[in-house]
Structure 1
Amino acid sequence: MQPELYLSYSSAFVIGLLGSAHCLGMCGGISASLSMTLPVGRGFRLRQTLLLLGFNFGRIASYTLIATLIALFSTRAAGQWQWAGLVMMTLAGLLLIFMGLSMGQWWQGIRFVEKLGAPVWRRLSPLSKRLLPVNHAGQALALGALWGWLPCGLVYSTLGWAALQPTVPAAALTMLFFGLGTLPSMLTTGYAANWIRNIRNNQGFRKLSGALLIAFGLWTLPFQALVQL
């Protein structure tokens, strides 16, 4: 495995961690509600854990699938046209910058990008409602797999970065590591919703996360290659 791929995977994981506040806004509510339908009693914690794991593994699996589908196109395009790689790098960098601006609450232009996925979500949303209330891990897994298609600027930003990978498996792994980065906050939501809500509303945390995402975006932009053109 090439060293730069290690960097991409670790960076994708960090982006997932930094985007926790955004993830909690998009998916935290449904994740926390999984516990509310369970009767409190013997085995409650085990059942709660299984539901949370099922939902989040389904969600991450969808991220990985979407990255695979996009990479089937992006890797072929980059191999045929040299300019395609520069275009994808530019878009990936801009998406991360837009997400950072949104996270820091400086500008919400990423919402226009999120609207691109609305047609797909309109078709999947009715299916997700049929799975509620969730009573077992299989239902939670299916719900998470559908929820992974929810229009999300943070997911789209990372997908743009995954599309830059040289192979389809590398793109899929990038989104897998991103999803694993979101996992700690999403799992904790089910156990400590009030504490997580405080983190989400902390302005200092949001601005720091936003600034770091912007830095990732600037690092991704192909300034040197564009100058040479």
Structure 2
Amino acid sequence: MQAFFLTGLTIGIIGSFHCIGMCGPLALSLPVNKEEQAWKQVAAIMAYNLGRVATYFCLGILFGIIGKSFALVGYQQALSVATGLLLLIVLVFGHKLRTNIPVIAAFHRWIKNVLFVLLRKPQRIGIFFLTGVINGLLPCGLVYLAIASAITTGTAVNGSMVMLGFGLGTIPLMVVLMVAGTFISVAFRSRIRRMVPYFAGLVACVLILRGLNLGIPYVSPVMPGSSSIEVVGCHPDSIIVNTVRQ
């Protein structure tokens, strides 16, 4: 579990630079009263971020279960390759998918409307937490990247660890943004955002390589449940083979 948690944490820390560009405007618009005591401001900021983490954790459980169903029937290799390819498609056509697919577009609008309502609510810890929960559902390439890693773990526990690590990894920089957002220029955020697709593409390629079962340690190891053919007998009239489960 530690390895999966560290994988998610790495994605979260690196990807949090993307967060300050995409989710930064929302985070900066949260009605945190600067005149309140410092501990109340910190509590509000942490409630918002922990709400996001809670959503990511639940998504990790869900997609880990989906990945497990593929692993049980021996399709974990195909799932890893398909996930990597899908991630590349989202990376290239993500904006068009959000705007041209009615279901995704409608879901996106619904989340924005809910967030708009929540931002106008009284400043309470529960409201900040719920805002974070809803924000965690926003369509985002970085979240897709973490989910892609979670679904290939093959279990609900490992999937949740990936997403938990991912969520926690995004917190430090988001807190810095919310506390001192005016010191992080828009130009700097824009430059950082341009670097994230390259990182996402690298992870997608690793997922594809992993599914190819090339026997390369750490990069493309032999997956449990994969099949290979072993010749166990040979006769001029027939060849006897066994399917070996790895």
Q: TM-score range by the shorter chain?
A: 0.7 to 0.9
Which residue pairs with 1:47 in the alignment? 40
Shift of the 7–114 alpha-carbon distance from structure 1 to 2, 3 Å rule, reads farther
- 2:127 and 2:203 map into 1 onto residues whose CA distance is 36
Identity of aligned residues (%): 26
Q: TM-score, normalised by structure 1?
A: 0.78
In the aligned structure 2, how far is the partner of 1:208 from the partner of 1:147? 23
Task: Report if the CA contact (8 A) 2:27-2:178 is conserved.
Answer: yes
Tell me the residue number matched to 2:165.
177
User: Is 2:4 the partner of 1:13?
Assistant: no
Counterpart Cα distance in 2 of 1:56 and 1:155: 15
The count of aligned residue pairs is: 211
Cα distance in structure 1, aligned partners of 2:66 and 2:211: 24
Q: Which amino acid aligns with 1:200?
A: R
Name 1:125's counterpart in structure 2: 112
Greater Cα offset, 165-174 or 215-224: 215-224
1:3-37: CA deviations, max 9, x gaps?
Answer: xx4333212211112212321222211211225x5
Give the structure, 1 or 2, with the largest relative contact order (CA under 8 Å, sep 6 or more). Answer: 1
CA-to-aligned-CA distance 1:142-186 (integer Å, 9 cap, x gap): 111111111111101210110111310110111010011111111
Report which of the two has the higher share of strand.
2
Pairing 1:154–2:150 present: no
Give the number of the structure whose residues are more often helix, by fraction.
1
Tell me the distance in 1 between the aligned counterparts of 2:78 and 2:212: 13
- Structure 1 gap ranges (5+): 103-107
What does residue 243 of structure 2 align with?
Answer: none
Shift of 1:48: 1.9
SS across alignment from 2:65: helix
Q: CA deviation at 1:114?
A: 4.6
Offset from partner CA, 1:197-225 (integer Å, 9 cap, x none): 354133xx456554444333322223643
- How far apart in 2 are the matches of 1:47 and 1:176? 25
| 8 Å contact from structure 1 (residues 92, 158) kept in 2 | no
One-letter amino acid of the counterpart of residue 57, structure 1: L
Residue equivalent to 1:59: 52
Q: Is the 8 A contact 1:114 1:153 kept in 2?
A: no
Partner of 2:18: 22
Q: Which runs of 5+ in 2 are unaligned?
A: 216-226, 229-246
Do structure 1's residue 110 and structure 2's residue 94 form an aligned pair? yes
Aligned partner of 1:9: which letter? Answer: F
Q: CA deviation at 1:98?
A: 6.2
Distance across 2 between alignment mates of 1:149 and 1:206 = 20
User: CA distance change for structure 1 residues 128 and 201 in 2, over 3 Å: closer, same or farther?
Assistant: closer
Match of 2:190 among 181, 186, 201: 201
Q: Give the structure-2-normalised TM-score.
A: 0.73
Q: Provide the rounded CA distance (Å) in 1 between the counterparts of 2:14 and 2:43.
A: 25
Question: 2:93 is aligned with what amino acid?
Answer: G
The structure-2 alpha-carbon separation of the partners of 1:206 and 1:141, relative to structure 1 and needing over 3 Å to count, comes to closer
Larger Rg: 2
